[in-house]
């Protein structure tokens, strides 16, 4: 495993840069074309529909497609043939299949006519299609389309080989990724390329089955011995430390710029994960990049061309930098390792956000309550706090949906109580002396929480109460931790640091030996995030994002359950862990 490091005044590593890559276009005889590289499972019909170009036009421009498509083949899409009206509502392509997004007032019959597919074929492929709703995704079974040439419906296969005209800046590695062929095989097929690749020269791309592992998902997956390229894009902010250190005394760590400390902790945790994966067989070149903490710094980094072949970026931390990098590097997956709103993944299909949002945690806690305490007296508190109404409704919906699946449920829906900010209201009258009372309060309103805890505590002597709240309560000075203990306070947390775990103790010990300092939460995040995503790259290849459900790790601090939020959006982490206060400490619930 390679590691590219550069010296700096504070750290012994520093900058490399980013990929700048746009959609490829060509001009042939004065006509402008967009280049589409065929991937496994794609058909000419599906490509034509997503590009809003008639199939016969594509066949006329790409006559070789009459004999079927080959993986890695380049199709020219004439820009002047794009039907603009159709492009606005064009389907998307996912693993070779067409996905239609249902629009307002569309019917199943209308959609079947639009694609030339029998209604029954749509129903067979899409459970629940009888009840169409705006925004629903329908998979179009391309193999059952009528009215299209037979050759246009045949999925792309591995060809016997193809010719490729080398473009300026291309490398063996980039060609290997494009055609899903080992770069060494390309080299062998072209006499070893003693003079290297030359722009304008034509080379042969071997396409025999033995040269490439073809799978439906991901469309491009190279062989295990391939070297990957990974960028750690961290806010070391080296330049900020001169002024900060000048104001500090001695060697007090507080004299370092805060984000420098965070980035350093994250890096050392990531380094331990990288070393572990190297022993597992990962081959990767790791570039450590100082992204700074201001737009001027990261803009300059992103414009650099020296990391054009990165496969994975861990970081940046700042939302604007992530969005800019995603636009500049559409082929590389980007991991946002720190808390951000879900806006960071909207319209960014290659971005992962690993820190759950507040609403994710509320829904997780609600489902936990419904599944664990279905036979208890579950009470949802809905005080009249305008900014929390949406959160309250999310909790109610999630609990009722989970309860519907439980045969041992006490009720079909949760009981709702409406206390005020300064009184319990009707809550006391809804408590059951003969059952466990699970009170769910998804609130971060200080006045309400303070009243709730202080007034519930005396009732705990008469009723069996478990209070399900929020992590933020521990930061409220007016809420006594001892009172939360009496009420068996439970909440959903995005992560948990358990020093009783032997693996955690081993990590902390290793970290201290290497750095002569203690690990904090960012060191643990650095380890877990880096280990998870590099393990995904190692086990699932370049298309790992489509196989998150197959990636297994044993996290020290943060778990992962990644899910896509929509066809055009990125991935969010729905993982959370339930913690309960016991004996004045937090315990992870099974």
Q: Are residues 48 and 148 in the same domain?
A: yes
The backbone torsions φ and ψ at residue 380, rounded to the nearest 5 degrees and listed phi first, read -95, 130
Q: What is the predicted pLDDT for the residue at 245?
A: 62
Q: What is the predicted pLDDT for the residue at 75?
A: 84
CA angle, 413 as apex, 412 and 417 as ends, to 5°? 145
Query: Which one of 461, 493, 525 terminates a domain?
Result: 493
Residues spanned by the domain of 85: 41-153
Is 223 inside any structural domain?
no
Question: Parallel, antiparallel, or unpaired: how do β-strands 436-440 and 377-381 relate?
Answer: parallel
Q: Are residues 189 and 265 in the same domain?
A: no
**List of residues 6+ apart from 208 with CB closer than 8 A:** 158, 160, 161
Joined tokens for residue 428: 């006391």
Q: Is the pLDDT of residue 161 over 70?
A: no
Question: Parallel, antiparallel, or unpaired: how do β-strands 312-314 and 228-234 relate?
Answer: parallel
- The rounded mean pLDDT for the chain is 83
Q: Are residues 539 and 423 in the same domain?
A: no
Q: Pick the more confident residue, 218 or 550.
A: 550
Q: What is the predicted pLDDT for the residue at 131?
A: 83
Q: Is the pLDDT of residue 397 over 60?
A: yes
Q: 19-58, pLDDT tens digit by residue?
A: 223 346 777 667 788 888 888 778 888 999 999 998 888 8
Please report the beta strands in 115-259, taking only residues with DSSP state E, as ranges in sequence order: 137-140, 161-165, 202-206, 228-234
Task: Tell me the C-alpha distance between 494 and 517, whole Å.
Answer: 25
Q: What is the predicted pLDDT for the residue at 168?
A: 67
This model's pTM is above 0.85: no
Asked if residues 267 and 315 have their Cβ atoms less than 8 Å apart, the reply is no
Query: Which one of 153, 185, 220 terminates a domain?
Result: 153
Sign of the CA dihedral with 466 first, then 470, 475, and 478 last:
negative
CA neighbor of 547 nearest in space, from 205, 254, 219, 57: 219
Q: Is the pLDDT of residue 211 over 70?
A: no
Task: Tell me the C-alpha distance between 217 and 546, whole Å.
Answer: 7
Is 58 inside any structural domain?
yes
Q: What proportion of the chain, given as a percentage, has pLDDT over 90? A: 43
Q: Are residues 141 and 244 in the same domain?
A: no
Query: Which one of 153, 179, 203 terminates a domain?
Result: 153
Q: Is the pLDDT of residue 10 over 60?
A: no
Burial 404-413 (b: 16+ CB within 10 A, else e): eeeeebbeee
Q: How confident is the model at residue 158 (pLDDT cuts 50, 70, 90)?
A: low
Q: Pick the more confident residue, 424 or 193.
A: 424
Provide the greatest CA pair distance for the chain.
87
Is 453 inside any structural domain?
yes
Is 29 inside any structural domain?
no
Q: Pick the more confident residue, 336 or 161.
A: 336
Q: What is the DSSP letter of 33?
A: E
- Peptide linkage before 218 cis (omega within 30 of 0): yes
Task: Tell me the C-alpha distance between 396 and 442, whole Å.
Answer: 10
Q: What is the predicted pLDDT for the residue at 159?
A: 54
Lowest mean pLDDT among 26-30, 136-140, 287-291, 317-321: 26-30
Please give the distance of CA 284 from its chain centroid, rounded to a whole number.
21
Q: Are residues 321 and 404 in the same domain?
A: no
Q: Are residues 402 and 349 in the same domain?
A: no
Q: What is the predicted pLDDT for the residue at 424?
A: 94
Question: Number of folded domains in the chain?
Answer: 4
Q: 444-486, pLDDT tens digit by residue?
A: 999 999 999 999 999 999 999 999 999 999 999 999 999 999 9
Joined tokens for residue 265: 């902790």
Over its C-alpha atoms, the chain yields an Rg (Å, rounded) of 28
Average pLDDT over residues 349-369: 94
Q: How confident is the model at residue 410 (pLDDT cuts 50, 70, 90)?
A: very high
Q: Are residues 363 and 487 in the same domain?
A: yes
Q: Are residues 65 and 146 in the same domain?
A: yes
Q: What is the predicted pLDDT for the residue at 578?
A: 94
Highest mean pLDDT of the ranges 71-75, 140-144, 202-206, 460-464: 460-464
Q: What is the predicted pLDDT for the residue at 209?
A: 33
Is 265 inside any structural domain?
yes
Q: What is the CATH number of the domain that holds 169?
A: 3.10.350.10
Q: Is the pLDDT of residue 329 over 90?
A: no
Q: Pick the more confident residue, 490 or 162.
A: 490
Please give the distance of CA 304 from its chain centroid, rounded to a whole number.
25
Q: What is the predicted pLDDT for the residue at 302?
A: 86
Is 542 inside any structural domain?
yes
- Cβ–Cβ contacts within 10 Å for residue 371, how many? 13
Q: How confident is the model at residue 559 (pLDDT cuts 50, 70, 90)?
A: very high
Q: What is the predicted pLDDT for the residue at 475?
A: 93
Q: Pick the more confident residue, 318 or 109.
A: 318
How far lies 485's CA from each of 365, 481, 496, 581, in Å?
18, 6, 18, 6
Asked if residues 563 and 574 have their Cβ atoms less than 8 Å apart, the reply is yes
Q: Are residues 261 and 141 in the same domain?
A: no
Is 328 inside any structural domain?
yes
Average pLDDT over residues 529-539: 93
Q: Are residues 374 and 484 in the same domain?
A: yes
Q: What is the CATH number of the domain that holds 316?
A: 3.40.50.2300
Q: What is the predicted pLDDT for the residue at 577?
A: 93
Q: Is the pLDDT of residue 295 over 80?
A: yes
Report which secondary-structure segment, H or E, holds 286: strand 284-290
Q: Are residues 121 and 175 in the same domain?
A: no
Q: Are residues 378 and 402 in the same domain?
A: yes
Q: 258-270, pLDDT tens digit by residue?
A: 899 999 999 999 9
Please give the distance of CA 359 from its chain centroid, rounded to a whole number.
17
Joined tokens for residue 110: 């209308």
Q: What is the predicted pLDDT for the residue at 250?
A: 52
Q: What is the predicted pLDDT for the residue at 132?
A: 84
Task: Tell me the C-alpha distance between 23 and 34, whole Å.
Answer: 8
Q: Is the pLDDT of residue 248 over 70?
A: no
Is 574 inside any structural domain?
no
**List of residues 6+ apart from 588 with CB closer than 8 A:** 496, 498, 577, 578, 579
Helix-, strand-, coil-residue percentages of the chain, each rounded to 5: 40, 20, 45
Task: Tell me the C-alpha distance between 283 and 105, whole Å.
Answer: 51
Q: How confident is the model at residue 215 (pLDDT cuts 50, 70, 90)?
A: very low
Q: What is the predicted pLDDT for the residue at 21?
A: 34
């Amino acid at each position: 495993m390679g590691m590219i490091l550069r010296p700096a005044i504070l750290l012994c590593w520093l900058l490399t840069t980013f990929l700048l890559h746009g959609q490829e276009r060509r001009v042939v005889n004065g006509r402008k074309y967009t280049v589409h590289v065929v991937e496994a499972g794609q058909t000419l019909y599906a490509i034509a529909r997503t590009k809003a170009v008639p199939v016969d036009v594509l066949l006329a421009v790409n006559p070789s497609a009459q004999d079927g498509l080959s993986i890695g083949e380049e199709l020219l899409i004439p820009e002047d043939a794009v039907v603009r009206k159709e492009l606005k509502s064009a389907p998307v392509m996912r693993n070779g299949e067409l996905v239609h997004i249902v629009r307002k007032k569309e019917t199943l019959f209308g959609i079947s006519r639009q694609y030339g597919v029998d209604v029954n074929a749509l129903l067979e492929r899409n459970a629940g299609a009888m009840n169409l709703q705006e925004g629903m995704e329908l998979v179009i079974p391309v193999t059952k389309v009528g009215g299209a040439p037979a050759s246009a419906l045949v999925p792309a296969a591995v060809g016997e080989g193809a010719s490729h005209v080398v473009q300026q800046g291309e490398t063996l590695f980039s060609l290997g990724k494009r055609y899903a062929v080992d770069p060494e095989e390309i080299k062998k097929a072209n006499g070893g390329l003693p003079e290297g690749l030359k722009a304008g020269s034509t080379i042969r791309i071997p396409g025999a089955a033995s040269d490439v592992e073809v799978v439906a998902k991901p469309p491009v997956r190279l062989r295990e011995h391939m070297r990957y390229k990974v960028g750690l894009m961290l806010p070391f902010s080296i330049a900020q430390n001169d002024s900060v250190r000048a104001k500090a005394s001695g060697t007090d760590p507080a004299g370092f710029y805060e984000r420098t400390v965070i980035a350093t902790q994250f890096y050392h945790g990531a380094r331990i994960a990288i070393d572990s994966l190297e022993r597992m067989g990962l081959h990767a070149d790791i570039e450590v990049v100082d992204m700074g903490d201001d737009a001027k710094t990261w803009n300059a980094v992103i414009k650099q061309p020296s990391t054009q072949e990165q496969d994975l970026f861990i970081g940046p931390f700042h939302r604007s930098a992530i969005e800019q990098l995603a636009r500049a590097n559409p082929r590389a997956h980007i991991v946002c390792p720190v808390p951000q709103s879900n806006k960071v993944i909207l319209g960014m299909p290659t971005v992962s956000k690993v820190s759950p949002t507040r609403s994710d945690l509320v829904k997780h806690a609600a489902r936990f309550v419904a599944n664990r305490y279905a036979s208890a007296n579950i009470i949802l508190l809905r005080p009249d706090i305008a900014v929390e109404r949406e959160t309250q409704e999310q909790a109610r919906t999630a609990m009722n949906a989970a309860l519907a699946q439980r045969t041992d449920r006490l009720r079909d829906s949760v009981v709702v109580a409406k206390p005020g900010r300064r009184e319990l209201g009707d809550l006391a009258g809804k408590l059951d002396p003969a059952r466990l009372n699970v009170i769910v309060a998804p609130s971060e309103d200080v006045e309400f929480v303070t009243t709730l805890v202080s007034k519930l505590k005396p009732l705990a002597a008469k009723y069996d109460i478990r209070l399900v709240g929020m992590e933020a309560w521990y930061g409220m000075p007016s809420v006594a931790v001892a009172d939360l203990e009496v009420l068996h306070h439970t909440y959903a947390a995005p992560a948990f640091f358990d020093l009783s775990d032997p693996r955690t103790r081993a990590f902390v010990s290793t970290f201290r030996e290497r750095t002569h300092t203690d690990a904090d939460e960012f060191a643990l995040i650095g380890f877990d995030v880096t280990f998870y995503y590099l393990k995904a790259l190692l086990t699932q290849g370049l298309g790992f994002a489509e196989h998150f459900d197959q990636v297994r790790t044993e996290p020290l601090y943060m778990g992962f359950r990644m899910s896509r939020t929509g066809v055009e959006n990125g991935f969010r982490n729905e993982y959370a862990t339930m913690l309960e206060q016991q004996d004045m400490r937090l315990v992870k619930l099974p």
